[in-house]
Structure 1
Amino acid sequence: MPTVFVPTEIRESETRAAASPDTVTRLIKLGMSVQIQAGAGAASHISDKAYEAAGATIVSDVAAGYGAADLVFKLNPPTPAEIASMREGTTLVSFVNALTDKDIVEALNARKISSIAMELVPRITRAQKMDALSSQANLAGYKAVIMAADHLPKIFPMLMTAAGTIQPARVVIMGAGVAGLQAIATAKRLGAVVEVSDVRPAVKEQVESLGGKFIEVPTDGSAEDEGGYATEQSEEFLAKQRELVREKIVNADVVITTAAIPGRPAPKLVTDDMVEAMRGGSVIVDLAVASGGNCTLSEAGQIVQKHGVTIIGKLEIPSLVAANATDMYAKNVLNLVGDMVDKEKGFHFDFEDEVVTGSVVCHKGEICHARVRDAHGLSPLNTPQEA
C-alpha cells in the first residue's frame, strides 16, 4: 500500500494545502494510506481532526513523514531542504517551475525523485480535471477584480440618484486566458464597463460572450501554441499593441494584467509613462508579477503607489481564497494520481499516456520531459522513458 505524505507549505503567506478531507477519503479508496503533517490545513481552515475523520494519520515529525512517503503531494516547488528530506524513488506531485528553475530539476533528478509538475499537465480534454494552472487562475481572476474594487476610490456600477448619475467604472483587462475571462465575468457582474486586449484573435468571441469589448490588435500569424497558451511576440508587435491600448489604459479606472507565457518572462504591456498618464486613484492589478510583471512599475509581493496609481503585485493570489483554492488543487492532484492507478499494477507510470509524458519531469534518474530538456540545453532522449 503506497503512502502519501502531505507536508505543510512553508512559503511565506501560503495558505493552501495539497489535500482536503474529501481527497484523503478518495485516496484511501484507491488503496493508499495518507499522512498529513500536523497543521497542514490550518490556514485553509481544515483541522487535523477533519483529516483524521477522513482516514488520514496526523504526523508531527516532518522528517518521518518524508521518510515513510512513497508519494509527496505539495503545492509550491520544493526547497533544497525538502528535496533532501525525500528518499530516493519518491514520487513528488507539485508545481515545480520546471521550465525555468534548472536547480530544482537537477536536485530532484540527482536524488532519483520522480517529479510530476502540475504546471506541465497538457491542455487536452481528458486532462481538464487535472489542470491546476486553470483552477488557480480562475480564482486569481475573480480575486483580482475584488481587490481592485476594494482599492478603487469609487464604485463599479452605474448609480442613478437624486443627486445625479455616477458613471460605471471602466476596466481594461490585458489577456483573455482563464484568469482574464474570470476577471471579465466578475467585473461585469459588479457593473463595470470592460474592455479586453489579447494577442489571440480567436478569443474575441469568448470575450464578447461575457459582455466585454474586444480591443483588436492586427496580427500576422497564430499567437497561441498547441495548448492554447499565448506565444511570445516580437517587440515590434508588443509596441504596436501598447500604442493601440494606451488610450484605453490611460482612461481606465482599473487595469488588470494577466498576460503570461509559459517558461518565459511576462511581456511588458503597461509602461511607466502609461501609469503616469492615468488618473489619480486608478488601480492596476498585475497577475503576472511572479514572472516579471506586465507593468514596469509592479513590485513582486507589494502594493505600491506610483504617480497616484495603486499597483497591486501580490503573489499567490489564490491563497487569499484558501478554502476554494485548496479544494480545487487537491482535486486536481487526486484526478491526476487517480488516473495513474491501475487495478492490477497499482500506482505506476505509463509513458504511453500523453498526460504522463506531458507532466513527468524526471524519473529513475533521468530528466525525461522533452520541453524541460530543451529549456535547460539538454539533448533529446534517444530512447523512450521506461515505467
Structure 2
Amino acid sequence: MSNSVTTGMLPDHYEQLAKTVRDFAQSVVAPVAAKHDEEHSFPYEVVSGMADMGLFGLPFPEEYGGMGGDYFALCLALEELGKVDQSVAITLEAGVSLGAMPVYRFGNEDQKQEWLPLLASGKALGAFGLTEAGGGTDAGATKTTARLDDGHWIINGSKQFITNSGTDITKLVTVTAVTGATGPRGQERSDSGDGHGKKEISSILVPVPTEGFTAEPAYNKVGWNASDTHPLSFDDVRVPQENLLGERGRGYANFLRILDEGRIAIAALSVGAAQGCVDECVKYAKEREAFGQRIGAYQAIAFKIARMEARAHAARTAYYDAAALMLAGKPFKKAAAIAKLVASEAAMDNSRDATQVFGGYGFMNEYPVARHYRDSKILEIGEGTTEVQLMLIAREAGL
C-alpha cells in the first residue's frame, strides 16, 4: 500500500501534518463512516475532533485564530480524510475554502476580527451561497436580490446545494445577490437590478440565525450522505449595510477567485478518494482467493490496480503543481482546472474499478469502495463541472 506523502518528498512539517491527519482518519473517522452514511447523519463528534486539531484554521494567520499554515497544508489534510470518508473531507473543505476564505480574502478588518477566529476554531461553520436553481456558473441567471433600505440590505431569493448551511453549528452564510444594474459605460442604472444593464452582483454576510433566513429540509442525495446540504430561502432578510463583503459589484468576480482556489482543494480530496480505492483494493487482492490463489496474482486484477495507482499519482502531481503556483503568487487558474479535471475523473474511474475488483462485495454499502463509488460522481460536478474545467483550460490555452 502506498502513502499519499512519501518520506523525503515534502518538508518535515508537511509530512508530520499528513501523518497526524492520516492517523486521525484511520482511528476516528473510518470506524463511524458507514454508520453516518447509512443514517444520513452529520458527524458532529468527528468535526469536533478536527476542530481540536486545528484543521479548520490551517491556512489562516495566527492573528485571526488560525494555525499559520498555508493552503497546501489544507490540501494534504483533505487528501488523507478523503481516503476514508468524502463527507468528512468536504465538510472541512467547504468550511475553510468556501465558508471562511471569502472573509479572509475580501473582508475588512472588522469582519475578519469578528468572524475568522470563530470559523478557524471549527466550533462554527460558514457556508457559501452562490448556486441557484437557474444558475450557478451562469452569473447572469442570478435572481436573488439585495436592496438598500435605511442602512440595511434587504435580501430576497433562494439558493440550492449549499454545503454546511443547516448544521447546529452553522453561524454564517455568505450570499451573492443582485444589488443593481450597470449601463453600457458602467454607470449605475438601477439599485435593484431590475434595469436593463448588466447585473451588479455583490456578496453579503448573513449571520445565522437571522429573521427571514431558512435552511430548507436537507436533500436526499446519491452520496456524501454525512455532509450537510440544503436549499436556502431568503424572505426580506435584513442585515446591516456594513455586511457587504468586499467591493460592491465585485461579488461574483471575487467568488470566481475563491472557486479557483477551491478546485485545488477538491482535487486533493479527489486524490484521497482515488488513493483510498487503491489501498482498499491492494488489501483485498492480497486476502481474497479464487480458483486456488489470491486474486492479486491474476494479471487482470494486478493491472487494473496498477492503472488505479497511476491515476492517483498523476492526479496528485497535478494538484501539487497547482498549489505550488498559487503559493508562489503565480497564475494558477489553468493548473487548478487541470488538477480538478484529472483528479475528479481519477476518483470516479478508480471507484468504478475498485467496485469491480471487489465484485459483489463492492456493491454493498458497508464497504468503503461502495461509498466511494456513490460519493465520487459529485467530484465531477461540484465547484465547476468537468465541462467548465475543459472550457477554462481551452480558454487559458488561447482558444
For the criterion TM > 0.5, the same-fold answer is no
Structure with the bigger percentage of helix: 2
Q: Which has the higher contact order (CA 8 A, sep 6+)?
A: 1
TM-score by length of 1: 0.28
